[in-house]
Structure 1
Amino acid sequence: MTEMTDAPDAEDLAPPSLDDDNRLTDEFVRLVSEAVDDGDNNLAQELVNPLHNADIADLFELIDEDERAPLAGVLGDLVSADVLAEMNEHVREDLIEVLEPGQIADLTEQLETDDAVAIIEDLDEGEQQAVLAELEPEDRAAIESALTYAEESAGRIMQRDLVAVPEHMNVGQLIDYLREHGDLTTEFWEVYVVDPSHKPVGTCQLSWILRVPRDIAVADIMKREQTLIPVDMDQEEVALRFQKYNLISAAVVNEDGRLIGMITVDDILHIVEDEASEDVLLLSGAGEGDINEPIRDSYKARVRWLIANLATAMVASFVISIFGAAIEQMVALAVLMPIVASIGGNAGTQTMAVSVRALAMNELTRSNTRRIIVREFRIAILNGGTIAILIGIGTALVFANPILGGVIALAMLINIVVAGFAGIFVPVMLERLKQDPALASSVFVTMITDTMGFLAFLGLAVASGLVGF
């Protein structure tokens, strides 16, 4: 008689879903993709069901673009509102395109206001209106109000759901209020205390509320000093406030000083990552740098900076053309020119990166600009002197020409010092002109270092009598 055994379930068949770095494994992604292609919906759901919302969002980013809509159809309710909130915006746009306005509305109603706004703001105006029409009046009013604020402002990222109480309450009344009102938000770290005009006058952390007797007045335990966030403040500045004052959450106030929302540290973590990535990518002219960004958008973002670099490179080429006759007299000049320009460019990039970061972190301000310029100038002299000695000695030995070694050494020193100055001067000037220092600094710094490098080297070669002009 044959013994019957249970069929293996998905857990027995599936490879580990996450590797040692907490990333979805190639084998797991392939198995889910094959299950969808084979029409084995049950297996696909069983495989994905144990995953965290963030890992499900990662799964959609890892599979091919044409597989995302079929996978969403197979997973059904597993593609929850929280999964959409965790998803890359370009991937999310692909999925939202196949959803009806009513479905999008159902999903956004399950989210905090800031996450719902992040989804709806990416829709076309017509689609926005269709989705908003499907929302409950209260939710629609909150989202429409948030959309009136500028992008990347505190108003866009704040949550409307918070707990605010009058200061005449005692701790017992506050606890009873929290227990009896089931419609209050369930995720908060502190209670905001407001005056009759709904202006915040203090905050109470939950730990304080839980550790004092019921008859103690809220006004006696609340912290009156608090960091208030203006609703129109840029999100990068908000992140700096959280970092500087070690905040877990902060109240958002309108122009009249009335409490209208709060921002929590989990939202700030995303902002810090986004802003840091944005500055790095802007320095390279790579646009958003998102691997899920449409090819056309990536092309448009990158090509304009390449064209700008082409224009600035022509300035350096013009300088070389002036000394064309001198270069023909000594081939060594052509051999050594790229070294001068390259080292100068790297030195300028180092200083520029430090300057852009310092400006972004509010570490470089009008009050200390002169001191920082002097500091970078001294560093440039030390770096320039070290590299000049090395390249000078090496050139003199290789080409058996001490004068040529001295020329390239002095040119290198000049170019590195100029590069250090340009690396801080250009970002500071752009910031003073209300331009993003990360956006255009690299173009100008590269032009300055290349042009000065060629001009210094070739000019000194002519001045020293190495070649005629």
Structure 2
Amino acid sequence: MVEADSAPDRALTPARAIRDEDGAIEPRLVEEVSQAVLLSDVTTLRSVVEDMHEADLGALLEALDTEERPRLISLLGSDFDFTALTEVDDAVREEILEELSAETVAEGVRELDTDDAVYILEDLDEADKQEVLERLTPAERVALQQGLDYPEGTAGRRMQTEVIAVPPFWTVGQTIDYLRETADLPDRFFEIFVADPAHHFVGTVRLDHLLRTKRPVSISNLLEEERRVVRATEDLEDVARQFQRYNLVAAPVIDDAGRLVGVMTIDDVVDVIEEAADDDVKQLGGVNAAEELSDPVAQIAKSRFRWLFINLVTAFLAAAVMGLFEAQLSQLVALAILAPIVASQGGNAATQTMTVAVRSLATQELGAWNVRRFFTRELIVALLNGIAFALITGVVAALWFSHAGLGLVIGIAMVINLIAAGLAGVAIPVLLDRYGVDPAVSSGTFVTTVTDVVGFFAFLGTATILLGLN
């Protein structure tokens, strides 16, 4: 009772609200921090961030003005958790790092796991990167350089080099004593890796299995030799698929010689999956995958201009098709009114099919073994929807313009264009992927061009034949 009463204020003080009901950082908190930075009020800053999660601290950094961010980090010094820099947009992180001294960055990354430290350092140019590395101890420098030496987008860049590895001839008792007595173990670990004296990976031992076994038993008797491993040069998206497919929480990382060099954990894999999905969504819309909300206006406009220009060229192509039927359009104005409906419906149908195809290719669910079945399925779907919308648009057009022949024309054109949409929505992404072109980046423009051209040509061509237009 005495201990509980000795700190009543701390127990009864309500926690400071960090995020509002929509998940955004509280504006009052941002204002409080901004004012504290302006006044160099370190005491207030420390009270705000001392129990703040790195994700919340990252969101707070993004909410501050550009010049306030590095100032906040400098004022907090060792109290600032550099892990928060892994939670901000790339552009924000680069701006912050440009303003911080090499000594400050070195002190910050020194306290991080190697995967987080490498994630931050890879944004620096080579000269600044070397300047930071020179301020670290040789052991720290080697660990970080090991990750930086692997190509971007590989497991070696995201792995954590701090691992627990024991020899197979140790006993359970020796291993448990080692875990209890070693101070610099990873903050979190889920299993013990076993390596031979040359550091070649041998297998793993689950922590629950270890703790349930008698002390004299040899570690070699507990080995799980069929454990899934990740190669350091393996693509991160392939690693993520392994984690998803086999429900992994962690996986050992080995080099080309089979030596244990690190570990991939589920928290890093979740980030990889999120980044891959984010890239796919952006690229399907013709947006640069690297674009962030914090990017300068001029940079965004420049990056989007290329695809908008390509779309403009393809729009002129569709307009040229309509130009071929200029005489027919002048004879029956209803054709000009209804033609965009056919093209638009085809474009929407193609986008649906293309989205499924691109995502299936990205997750390796669609391949040579099932592409024919997928193609047939989408063709049947397109035919059924084509017939349904042919009936709907045919009846509406016939009643609208009191012209039964016009209803028949738009119905036929709708079936033709939706079938073309289904074919293009599958064939274009598959062909682009086969020839090494990212279908998420290029499919949209080609697919919509096909449906526009086929839609206009089918509608106006059918009208010319069936309605006797010259």
Counterpart of 1:47?
48
Counterpart of 2:462?
460
> Are residues 1:332 and 2:304 paired?
no
Residue 461 of structure 1 aligns with an amino acid whose one-letter code is: A
Where does 1:153-192 land on structure 2 (aligned, <5 Å)? 153-192=154-193
Where does 1:210-225 land on structure 2 (aligned, <5 Å)? 210-225=211-226
Residues 420-429 or 216-225, more deviating: 216-225
**1:128-178 deviations in whole A, cap 9, x for unaligned?**
111111121122122222222211111111111101122222211211222
- Work out whether residues 203 and 227 of structure 2, in 8 Å CA contact, stay in contact via their aligned partners in 1: yes
Q: CA deviation at 1:299?
A: 2.2
Unmatched segments (≥5 aa) in structure 1: 1-7
**1:336-361 deviations in whole A, cap 9, x for unaligned?**
11111111111111111111111111
Q: CA deviation at 1:45?
A: 3.9
Counterpart of 1:414?
416
**1:19-62 deviations in whole A, cap 9, x for unaligned?**
23443122322333244345555434433444222111101112
Structure 1 residues 38 and 168 mapped into 2: Cα distance closer, same or farther (>3 Å)? closer
Counterpart of 1:132?
133
Counterpart of 2:63?
62
Where does 1:269-348 land on structure 2 (aligned, <5 Å)? 269-287=270-288, 288-348=290-350
- Work out whether residues 18 and 56 of structure 2, in 8 Å CA contact, stay in contact via their aligned partners in 1: no
Structure 1 residues 27 and 449 mapped into 2: Cα distance closer, same or farther (>3 Å)? same
| Secondary structure of residue in 1 paired with 2:194 | strand
Q: Distance in 2 between matches of 1:73 and 1:195?
A: 45
**1:400-438 deviations in whole A, cap 9, x for unaligned?**
111111111111111111111111111111111122111
Q: Distance in 2 between matches of 1:35 and 1:132?
A: 32
> Are residues 1:96 and 2:100 paired?
no
Please report the RMSD computed on the Cα atoms of aligned residues, expressed in angstroms: 2.1
| Secondary structure of residue in 2 paired with 1:65 | coil
- Work out whether residues 14 and 31 of structure 1, in 8 Å CA contact, stay in contact via their aligned partners in 2: no
| Secondary structure of residue in 2 paired with 1:97 | helix
- Work out whether residues 415 and 449 of structure 1, in 8 Å CA contact, stay in contact via their aligned partners in 2: yes
Identity of aligned residues (%): 42
Residue 70 of structure 1 aligns with an amino acid whose one-letter code is: R
Structure 1 residues 299 and 432 mapped into 2: Cα distance closer, same or farther (>3 Å)? same
Q: CA deviation at 1:293?
A: 2.1
Residues 68-77 or 89-98, more deviating: 68-77
Residue 295 of structure 2 aligns with an amino acid whose one-letter code is: E
- Work out whether residues 350 and 447 of structure 2, in 8 Å CA contact, stay in contact via their aligned partners in 1: yes
Q: CA deviation at 1:284?
A: 0.4
Q: Distance in 1 between matches of 2:121 and 2:39?
A: 33
Counterpart of 1:361?
363
| Secondary structure of residue in 2 paired with 1:261 | strand
Q: Distance in 1 between matches of 2:17 and 2:176?
A: 45
Structure 1 residues 379 and 56 mapped into 2: Cα distance closer, same or farther (>3 Å)? same
Q: Distance in 2 between matches of 1:186 and 1:401?
A: 75
- Work out whether residues 90 and 292 of structure 2, in 8 Å CA contact, stay in contact via their aligned partners in 1: no
Q: CA deviation at 1:109?
A: 1.4
Structure 1 residues 389 and 432 mapped into 2: Cα distance closer, same or farther (>3 Å)? same
Counterpart of 1:5?
none
| Secondary structure of residue in 2 paired with 1:17 | coil
**1:287-331 deviations in whole A, cap 9, x for unaligned?**
134101233332232111111111222221221111112111111
Number of residue-to-residue matches in the alignment = 460
Structure 1 residues 50 and 176 mapped into 2: Cα distance closer, same or farther (>3 Å)? closer
Q: Distance in 1 between matches of 2:257 and 2:427?
A: 39
Unmatched segments (≥5 aa) in structure 2: 1-8
Q: CA deviation at 1:14?
A: 9.8
Counterpart of 1:148?
149
- Work out whether residues 14 and 28 of structure 1, in 8 Å CA contact, stay in contact via their aligned partners in 2: no
- Work out whether residues 404 and 466 of structure 1, in 8 Å CA contact, stay in contact via their aligned partners in 2: no
**1:80-100 deviations in whole A, cap 9, x for unaligned?**
222223332221211111211
Residues 222-231 or 389-398, more deviating: 222-231
**1:174-207 deviations in whole A, cap 9, x for unaligned?**
1122223333334211111223443322211111
| Secondary structure of residue in 2 paired with 1:93 | helix
Q: CA deviation at 1:237?
A: 0.8
- Work out whether residues 410 and 459 of structure 2, in 8 Å CA contact, stay in contact via their aligned partners in 1: yes
Counterpart of 1:402?
404
Q: Distance in 2 between matches of 1:382 and 1:34?
A: 63
Residues 389-398 or 163-172, more deviating: 163-172
Residue 195 of structure 1 aligns with an amino acid whose one-letter code is: D
Structure 1 residues 115 and 407 mapped into 2: Cα distance closer, same or farther (>3 Å)? same
> Are residues 1:226 and 2:227 paired?
yes
- Work out whether residues 353 and 425 of structure 2, in 8 Å CA contact, stay in contact via their aligned partners in 1: yes
Normalising by structure 2, we get a TM-score of 0.93
Q: CA deviation at 1:273?
A: 0.6
| Secondary structure of residue in 2 paired with 1:439 | helix
- Work out whether residues 354 and 425 of structure 2, in 8 Å CA contact, stay in contact via their aligned partners in 1: yes
Q: Distance in 2 between matches of 1:151 and 1:263?
A: 15
Counterpart of 2:3?
none
| Secondary structure of residue in 2 paired with 1:193 | strand
Counterpart of 1:371?
373
Q: CA deviation at 1:267?
A: 0.2
- Work out whether residues 347 and 419 of structure 1, in 8 Å CA contact, stay in contact via their aligned partners in 2: yes
- Work out whether residues 384 and 412 of structure 1, in 8 Å CA contact, stay in contact via their aligned partners in 2: yes
> Are residues 1:208 and 2:209 paired?
yes
| Secondary structure of residue in 2 paired with 1:350 | helix
Residues 265-274 or 418-427, more deviating: 418-427
Residue 259 of structure 1 aligns with an amino acid whose one-letter code is: L
- Work out whether residues 195 and 201 of structure 1, in 8 Å CA contact, stay in contact via their aligned partners in 2: yes
Counterpart of 1:3?
none
Normalising by structure 1, we get a TM-score of 0.93
Residues 375-384 or 284-293, more deviating: 284-293
- Work out whether residues 70 and 100 of structure 2, in 8 Å CA contact, stay in contact via their aligned partners in 1: no
Q: Distance in 1 between matches of 2:232 and 2:171?
A: 30
Residue 128 of structure 1 aligns with an amino acid whose one-letter code is: K
